[in-house]
């Protein structure tokens, strides 16, 4: 009885506070809507403010009234309510910042993105996101939540020249760093100079054996500088420079040493090695088509468009071409290429080729999720599509939130009829959440498929990395 009386005493106060907040919000919203587009804000805010950002749009994309209202709602929450409530959002940008940016930039799609984000903000989805190293919050930018318009950031292909040593000059170690008492095998004989050809090569081989490939490349370059101009040994030294540069992760510089060799012609013994090295450099730099064209000499095979054609490929060529096709997610063509290198009477596939074929088979028959089925499931039962896509917590939260808003809307209309403010408010919320639930289900299925393919291409890159020091 005491609890019942206390609740009756508190309810009028809560209703009065809610009415005051609603009236203040409506007054502020009306003022924002009535502000002419050319009038600047009195607080001096620049175009970073969402309302100013909308006014700064080009004339061909005029701000819609609904966008202005919703953008103001999130701005009002961020400036007036969030400081009092505390920072509780587990995402960066926060849901209110996300809503401002999404609706201000993408209109209706932004509204669906915001509805989906609000249904994911429950603290149980952190394992699906990359975390900010400083704050530990889950990174979820607006650009990663678009279903149409511009493409998603795939985080898949490395940009050309994005190696860790890009822009680093290949400097020759100082003479003070020449081989001294590193080991008995490094000491030159009594008639041999510390800086002679044999001593430099011995030290370069020693550095390469220890895994210090960048300094080893510097020693090989010093050896190249003291060889005569037309010395045939220069081919092997350049090859060692490129090999160690590729081992150190600098494919761009490695290619710069191999390209001149290939352009001026090579002895037959060196041609396959240099061609393979250039193809590996192209793969690491993300130039997959160029890597395949390295093996087109004397053949009509520009892009393997007809992978079923009978093409004579060596094992090395087939593996590199298949790896390039895997990185482009052309699973069936990669598998056909590997099979074309296998002779029915010859030995079985090598371990590397077997791994690549396993990846191709997984890409063809992997556990992908249908975006259409995810959307249909969430249309029939809110949250079911997200559960189907592996987001169980998101699906359950969507179901509970939509069911609660629907129940409150029905209760309001039952009590007060069609004029019920409660019914219309919760009905609108339920409709928005329902639409966002369908949008989020389709997006979840797409993200699941994208992450599955990224895992396969990452394993293919691991194979390619293993080739870097073995060509």
- State pLDDT tens for residues 237-247: 999 999 999 98
The string of pLDDT tens digits covering residues 287-321 is 998 888 888 643 434 344 444 444 456 778 888 89
The token pair at 307 is 């992978």
What rounded mean pLDDT belongs to the chain? Answer: 74
Asked if the model's pLDDT at residue 50 lies above 80, the reply is no
| Listed ranges 129-133, 158-162, 271-275, 385-389; the one with the highest mean pLDDT | 385-389
Sequence-distant (6+) residues with CB within 8 A of 331 are 325, 359, 360, 361, 362, 363, 364
Measured distance CA(321)–CA(280) in Å, rounded: 10
The token pair at 348 is 């079985």
Residue 378 pLDDT:
95
Region 206-210: mean pLDDT is: 88
Residue 262 pLDDT:
77
The token pair at 310 is 């009978």
3-state secondary structure of 92: strand
Residue 29 pLDDT:
42
Listed residue (153, 76, 65) closest to 107, CA to CA: 65
- The answer to whether the beta carbons of residues 152 and 143 sit under 8 Å apart is yes
The token pair at 231 is 């010395």
Residue 137 pLDDT:
83
Measured distance CA(321)–CA(123) in Å, rounded: 44
Rg (CA), the chain: 32
Confidence of residue 85 (pLDDT cuts 50, 70, 90): low
Long-range CB contacts (within 8 A, 24+) of 103-111: 103/67, 103/70, 103/71, 103/74, 104/50, 104/53, 104/54, 104/67, 104/71, 105/142, 106/142, 106/146, 106/149, 107/64, 107/67, 109/146, 109/147, 109/148, 109/149, 110/67, 110/142, 111/66, 111/70, 111/432
What is the widest separation between alpha-carbon atoms in the chain?
107
Residue 296 pLDDT:
66
Better-scored residue on pLDDT, 152 or 391: 391
The token pair at 277 is 């090295």
Tokens 């005569």 belong to which residue? 228
- The answer to whether the beta carbons of residues 276 and 320 sit under 8 Å apart is yes
User: Percent of the chain, pLDDT > 70?
Assistant: 69
Task: Count CA atoms closer than 13 A to 283's CA, side-chain side.
Answer: 30
Tokens 């007036």 belong to which residue? 80
The token pair at 438 is 């369908």
The string of pLDDT tens digits covering residues 418-465 is 889 999 999 999 999 999 999 999 999 999 999 999 999 999 998 888
Measured distance CA(90)–CA(131) in Å, rounded: 10
Confidence of residue 178 (pLDDT cuts 50, 70, 90): very low
Asked if the model's pLDDT at residue 99 lies above 50, the reply is yes
Residue 439 pLDDT:
95
- The answer to whether the beta carbons of residues 275 and 295 sit under 8 Å apart is yes
Residue 340 pLDDT:
80
């Amino acid at each position: 009885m005491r609890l019942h009386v206390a609740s009756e005493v508190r309810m009028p106060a809560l209703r009065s506070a809610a009415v005051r907040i609603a009236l203040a919000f409506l007054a502020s919203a009306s003022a924002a809507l009535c502000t002419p587009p050319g009038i600047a804000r009195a607080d001096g805010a620049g175009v970073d403010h969402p309302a100013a950002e909308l006014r700064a749009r080009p004339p061909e994309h005029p701000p819609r009234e609904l966008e202005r209202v919703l953008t103001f709602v999130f701005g009002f929450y961020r400036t007036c309510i969030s400081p009092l409530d505390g920072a509780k959002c587990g995402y960066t940008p926060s849901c209110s910042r996300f809503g401002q940016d999404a609706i201000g930039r993408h209109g209706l799609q932004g509204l669906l993105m915001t509805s989906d984000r609000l249904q994911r903000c429950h603290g149980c989805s952190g394992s699906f996101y990359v975390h900010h190293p400083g704050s530990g919050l889950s990174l979820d930018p607006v650009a990663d939540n678009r279903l149409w318009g511009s493409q998603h950031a795939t985080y898949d292909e490395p940009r050309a020249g994005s190696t860790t040593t890009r822009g680093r000059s290949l400097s020759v170690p100082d003479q003070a760093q020449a081989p001294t008492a590193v080991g008995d095998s490094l000491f030159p004989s009594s008639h041999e100079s510390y800086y002679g050809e044999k001593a430099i090569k011995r030290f370069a081989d020693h550095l390469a054996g220890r895994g210090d490939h960048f300094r080893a490349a510097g020693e090989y370059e010093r050896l190249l500088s003291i060889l005569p101009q037309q010395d045939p040994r220069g081919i092997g030294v350049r090859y060692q420079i490129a090999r160690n540069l590729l081992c150190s992760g600098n494919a761009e510089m490695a290619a710069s040493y191999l390209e001149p060799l290939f352009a001026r012609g090579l002895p037959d013994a060196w041609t396959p090695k240099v061609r393979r090295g250039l193809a590996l450099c192209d793969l690491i730099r993300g130039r997959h088509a160029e890597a395949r064209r390295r093996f087109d000499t004397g053949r009509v095979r520009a892009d393997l468009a007809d992978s079923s054609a009978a093409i004579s490929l060596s094992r090395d060529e087939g593996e590199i071409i298949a790896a390039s096709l895997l990185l482009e997610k052309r699973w069936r063509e990669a598998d056909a290429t590997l099979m074309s290198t296998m002779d029915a009477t010859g030995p079985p596939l090598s371990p590397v080729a077997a791994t690549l074929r396993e990846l191709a088979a997984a890409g063809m028959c992997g556990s992908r999720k249908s975006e259409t089925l995810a959307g249909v499931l969430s249309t029939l039962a809110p949250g079911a599509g997200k559960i189907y896509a592996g987001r169980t917590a998101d699906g359950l939260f969507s179901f509970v939130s939509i069911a609660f808003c629907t129940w409150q809307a029905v209760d309001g209309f039952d009590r007060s009829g069609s004029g019920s403010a409660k019914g219309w408010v919760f009905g609108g919320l339920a409709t928005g959440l329902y639409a966002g639930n369908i949008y989020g289900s389709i997006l979840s299925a797409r993200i699941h498929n994208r992450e599955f393919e990224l895992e396969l291409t990452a394993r293919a890159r691991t194979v390619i990395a293993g080739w870097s020091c073995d060509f």
